Amino acid sequence: MGRYVIRRLLQLIPVFIGTTFLVYVLVWALPGDPFAGMCKSTCPPEFRQAMIEKYNLDENIFVQYFTYLGNLLQGDFGTTYSDREVGELIEAAAPVSITLAAIAVGFEALIGVTAGILTGLRRGSFIDNLVLVSTLVVIAFPVFVIAFVVQLVLGSWLDIIDLTVSSDPSFTELLAPGFVLGSLSMAYVARLTRTSIAENRRADFVRTAVAKGLPQRRVVGVHLLRNSMIPVITFLGTDLGSLMGGAIVTEGIFGINGVGGLVYSSILSKEGTVVTGVVVLLVIVFLITNLIIDLLYAVLDPRIRYE
């Protein structure tokens, strides 16, 4: 296992360099004037030249990237056009988005997996049909519609939650936005778990466990569930980074100052350093979660052995 971990960590290096380089090129190769939003009309030539030299835009793209990468390894994410530290902006926005995404994944795991297990073990029953119809409805509705329904029912009618969260939201304030953010993935998790459970129920190792006379609880909990959770765990792990970067709509509706809103405002103002810094953070989250998922495979499925 130790060799596998070291090998996987070494594999992360070229993946990190390749993905961040691609992101850097895509962000800084966009057509248009990156300084257009800084001046009311046309920026003076002296100002433009100073900004180009400051951000190394007169250098080759490879020189730009490796200069940025060298600063990044020292914890420097760069500065915005208004001389604000990108690292400070990310530091202020990331904790809220990470908490929001974690709550969303928690709802996915708790509700989605539970519903998938119940329906996978009782295919064709009333609860199976109910979950299939419910998840189909959730998938059909856009996230902002679900957000408005949650605000209307829990906020306006029942007065359980506030329509918008505070500037420094607590964990309980993020429960409703987290549920909304994870609602679509929750439906996919339920269906994925249902399919995986139903398929593995017909597997040889399950029939062997039943033939040995093992209790139903042990057959389901030890043999069936552990092997069925591998694709579900993979989905949940990779979904964490996606939820952080894709929370623009949810954060906007509930007034959350997170990574999604930071990316959106940076794209509008063409703040390439902020967009690049946030995407680099998401890449790191993806790489770490994928490493953890790979290590969990051996725990869930004893047939998997890492050399």
Is 46 part of any domain? no
Is 107 part of any domain? yes
102 SS3 class? helix
Is 69 part of any domain? no
For 287, the enclosing helix (H) or strand (E) is helix 272-300
- The 8-class DSSP code of residue 85 comes to B
Please state, in angstroms and rounded to a whole number, the distance separating the CA atoms of residues 19 and 13. 10
Band of residue 116 on the pLDDT scale cut at 50, 70, 90: very high
CATH number of the domain that residue 166 is part of: 1.10.3720.10
Is 227 part of any domain? yes
Q: How many residues would you count in the chain?
A: 307
Is 29 part of any domain? no
- Could you tell me the residue range of the domain that residue 294 belongs to? 86-300
Is 194 part of any domain? yes
Under 8 Å between Cβ of 260 and 247: yes
Please state, in angstroms and rounded to a whole number, the distance separating the CA atoms of residues 230 and 196. 9
Band of residue 81 on the pLDDT scale cut at 50, 70, 90: confident
Is 127 part of any domain? yes
Model confidence pLDDT, tens digit, residues 142-192: 888 999 999 999 988 988 888 888 888 889 999 999 999 999 999 999 999
Is 223 part of any domain? yes
Model confidence pLDDT, tens digit, residues 266-299: 887 778 888 889 988 888 888 888 888 877 776 7
pTM, to two decimals: 0.84
pLDDT at 146: 93
Under 8 Å between Cβ of 286 and 238: yes
How many domains, the chain? Answer: 1
Under 8 Å between Cβ of 278 and 262: yes
pLDDT of 305 strictly over 60: no
